[in-house]
Amino acid sequence: MKILIIDDEISIVEFLKKSLNAHFFLVESATDGERGAFLARTGGYDLILLDYALPKMSGVEVLEEIRKEKNHIPVIMLTVKSEIEDKQKAFNLGVDDYITKPFLFDELLLRIKALLKRPQKIKEIITRLGDLTFNVTAKCFRRGGVELYLTRREYCLLEYLLRRQNEVVSRGEILENVWDYNADPFSNSIETHINSLRRKLNQNNKKDLIHTFSGRGYKLALRKTR
């Protein structure tokens, strides 16, 4: 599952990314409403965490733009604004839930899971690349029909590469979206996990799907083309 955080408080974004990654969510972020609205329209997210007060566009303006496009993605307003008038405006525009800061992460996680379990939101989506399939609902990877048993980090890395399939993804993008903010950019952790994923994906002499582009990054694709 992929979550978008639109919040200009970097400390909150860092905390949420790290905490949500630990629960197998892919997380991307924007620090202003204009960028957040663009990502919400184009990023294919499963849920959005949205601050009320943002630079360039306010949270309610972002929400209004999302709903005008008939986009029913679940949105949780996460904000310090606690006045009933603010809550009423947000709910009238179509927000799904409203949590005031400071908040307990465990409570936020419960509300995220509750929204994602709504019957009308559940979709049996299968993403595939050749004989590699990812069941989004079951959170299960298979290759040639055989389930792959992955560590948490391998799972998040493979999901990110699959979402970006046929694109060269840089180490910096992987660090930002799969690792946390405290990751050492000079360690070989990414390379180690890429090699481990390759071994698991290529069992029984399967064709290599992860391609390395020296100085540029990695690409998940059926063939290595530039």
Cβ count within 10 A of residue 158 = 24
The per-residue pLDDT for range 83-124, each reduced to its tens digit, is 998 899 899 888 999 999 988 999 999 999 988 887 544 445
What is the C-alpha radius of gyration for the chain, rounded to an integer number of angstroms? 19
What pLDDT, on the 0 to 100 scale, is given for residue 197?
93
pTM for the model: 0.57
- HSE-CB at 212 with a 13 A cutoff on CA atoms is 9
**Alpha carbons 25 and 33: distance in angstroms, whole number:** 22
What pLDDT, on the 0 to 100 scale, is given for residue 199?
93
Banded pLDDT at 1 (limits 50, 70, 90) = confident
Sheet containing strand 47-50, edge to edge, reads 26-30, 2-6, 47-50, 75-79, 97-100
β strands within the chain, DSSP E: 2-6, 26-30, 47-50, 75-79, 97-100, 126-129, 132-135, 140-143, 146-147, 210-213, 217-220
**pLDDT, the chain, mean:** 86
Q: Are strands 47-50 and 75-79 parallel, antiparallel or unpaired?
A: parallel
Assess whether the previous peptide bond of 102 is cis (omega < 30° from 0): yes
What pLDDT, on the 0 to 100 scale, is given for residue 180?
64
What pLDDT, on the 0 to 100 scale, is given for residue 119?
57
- pLDDT value at 5 more than 90: yes
What angle in degrees, to the nearest 10, is found between the helix axes of 152-163 and 189-201? 80
The per-residue pLDDT for range 135-168, each reduced to its tens digit, is 876 778 999 888 999 998 999 999 999 989 999 9
The per-residue pLDDT for range 165-212, each reduced to its tens digit, is 999 999 888 988 888 655 565 677 889 999 999 999 998 888 899 999
For CA atoms 19, 22, 25, 30, give the dihedral sign.
positive
